[in-house]
C-alpha cells in the first residue's frame, strides 16, 4: 500500500537535538530545497503517478516506501549526481540526510526498488515539477528566473557521425529486423518467396566497413573502390526496400495487433530509407 510519509519518532528528534548542541550545521542548500519540496502540488502529482504501479496500490498490499521519501531521495540523487546505490548508502549513513529525506530511523528500500518507483514518474509530471520548482524558487527569492545561460560545449557521445554508408547500413538493419518479425506472422498465410525475407544486414554492414576502410587510404584506386562499394551498398539497400514494400502489401489486410505494429513501422521507415538512397545516389 502506498503511504504518504513516515511519522517522526521521539528518538530521532533527540538525535537531531544532540547534533544542534554539537554545533553541526545543516547545509543551507538542503534547507532551501527542503522548503521547496514541502509543496503539496508537487507531492500530489508524483503520488498520482506512483499510485499506478498496481491497480490497488493505494488500498492494499504491504506498506511501501512513502511518497515523500521517494521524492526527496530522487531530488538528492539528482542534486549530487549520485547513483541509486550511492544515494541510499549515503542517506543510510547520515542523520542529516535521513532528516532531509524524512526517513528518520526507518529502513531504506533497495536501489532496484527506488529505480522502479522513479520509472513510474511520467515526463509530463517532471515538466510540471520543474515549472513548479521555478515558481516556488522565485517566490522565495532563491532565484530571479530571468536569465538562462546554457553550456554549448561539444561532448563526446557514443552516437556515430552520420555518413551515407552508415545511414544506408542502418536502414537495412532496421528493415531487416522488421522483415524478420513479419516472417513469423506471414510464413503460413502467403506465397511470398523466401527471397522476400532475405536478411541483407550482414552484406550491408560489410560494405559499409569496406567503405570506411577505403576512406582512410589515398589514391585513385582507393577512390575507385569507394565508388564501386557505394554502388553495391545502394543496390543492397534498394533491394531491401523492395522486399519491405512486398511485405507491407501482404500485411495490408491483417487486423491483429502485431501485424499492425509491423505495418506501421514499415510505413514509417520505408520512405526514410528511400530518402537516404536518393541522397547517397546524388552524392556518389
Q: Is the pLDDT of residue 143 over 70?
A: no
Closest to 121 (Cα-Cα) out of 90, 89, 91, 78: 78
5 within a domain of the structure (yes/no)? no
* Residue 237 backbone class (left: φ over 0; alpha: ψ -120 to 50; beta: rest): alpha
Q: What is the pTM of this model?
A: 0.49
Residues 180 and 272 in one domain: yes
pLDDT: is 92 or 155 the higher one?
92
Residues 120 and 170 in one domain: no
230 within a domain of the structure (yes/no)? yes
Closest to 212 (Cα-Cα) out of 200, 222, 221: 222
3 within a domain of the structure (yes/no)? no
Q: Is the pLDDT of residue 59 over 90?
A: no
What 8-state DSSP symbol labels residue 196?
G
**Helix (H/G/I), strand (E/B), else coil: 142:** coil
Domain CATH code at residue 182: 1.20.120
Residues 104 and 54 in one domain: yes
pLDDT: is 74 or 25 the higher one?
74
Provide the domain count of the chain: 2
4 within a domain of the structure (yes/no)? no
What pLDDT, in 10s, does the model give residues 232-279? 999 999 999 999 998 888 888 788 888 889 889 999 999 999 999 998
Residues 34 and 107 in one domain: yes
Residues 262 and 177 in one domain: yes
148 within a domain of the structure (yes/no)? no
Segments forming the whole domain that contains residue 219: 164-283
126 within a domain of the structure (yes/no)? yes
Beta strands in 171-239 (DSSP E): none
Residues whose CB is less than 8 angstroms from the CB of residue 239 and which lie 6 or more positions away in sequence, other chains included: 200
User: Integer distance in angstroms from the first to the last C-alpha of the chain?
Assistant: 63
- The cell numbers describing 178, all together, are 522488421
**DSSP H or E segment with residue 32:** helix 28-36
pLDDT score for 202 = 92
Amino acid at each position: 500500500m502506498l503511504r504518504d510519509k513516515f511519522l517522526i519518532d521521539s528518538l530521532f528528534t533527540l538525535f537531531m537535538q544532540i547534533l544542534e548542541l554539537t554545533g553541526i550545521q545543516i547545509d543551507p542548500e538542503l534547507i532551501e530545497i527542503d522548503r521547496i519540496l514541502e509543496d503539496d502540488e508537487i507531492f500530489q502529482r508524483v503520488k498520482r503517478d506512483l499510485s499506478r504501479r498496481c491497480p490497488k496500490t493505494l488500498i492494499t498490499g504491504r506498506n511501501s516506501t512513502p511518497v515523500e521519501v521517494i521524492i526527496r531521495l530522487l531530488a538528492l540523487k539528482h542534486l549530487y549526481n549520485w547513483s541509486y546505490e550511492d544515494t541510499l548508502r549515503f542517506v543510510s549513513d547520515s542523520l542529516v540526510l535521513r532528516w532531509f529525506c524524512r526517513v528518520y530511523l526507518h529502513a531504506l528500500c533497495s536501489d532496484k526498488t527506488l529505480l522502479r518507483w522513479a520509472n513510474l514518474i511520467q515526463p509530463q509530471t517532471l515538466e510540471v515539477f520543474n515549472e513548479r520548482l521555478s515558481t516556488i524558487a522565485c517566490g522565495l527569492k532563491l532565484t530571479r528566473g530571468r536569465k538562462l545561460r546554457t553550456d554549448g560545449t561539444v561532448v563526446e557521445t557514443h552516437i556515430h557521425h552520420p555518413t551515407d554508408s552508415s545511414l544506408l547500413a542502418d536502414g537495412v538493419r532496421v528493415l531487416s529486423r522488421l522483415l524478420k518479425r513479419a516472417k513469423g506472422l506471414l510464413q503460413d498465410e502467403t506465397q511470398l518467396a523466401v527471397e522476400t525475407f532475405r536478411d541483407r544486414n550482414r552484406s550491408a554492414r560489410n560494405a559499409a566497413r569496406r567503405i570506411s576502410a577505403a576512406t582512410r587510404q589515398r589514391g585513385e584506386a582507393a577512390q575507385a573502390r569507394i565508388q564501386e562499394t557505394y554502388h553495391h551498398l545502394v543496390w543492397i539497400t534498394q533491394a531491401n526496400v523492395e522486399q519491405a514494400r512486398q511485405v507491407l502489401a501482404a500485411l495490408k489486410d491483417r487486423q491483429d495487433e502485431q501485424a499492425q505494429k509491423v505495418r506501421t513501422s514499415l510505413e514509417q521507415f520505408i520512405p526514410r530509407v528511400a530518402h537516404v538512397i536518393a541522397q547517397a545516389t546524388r552524392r556518389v
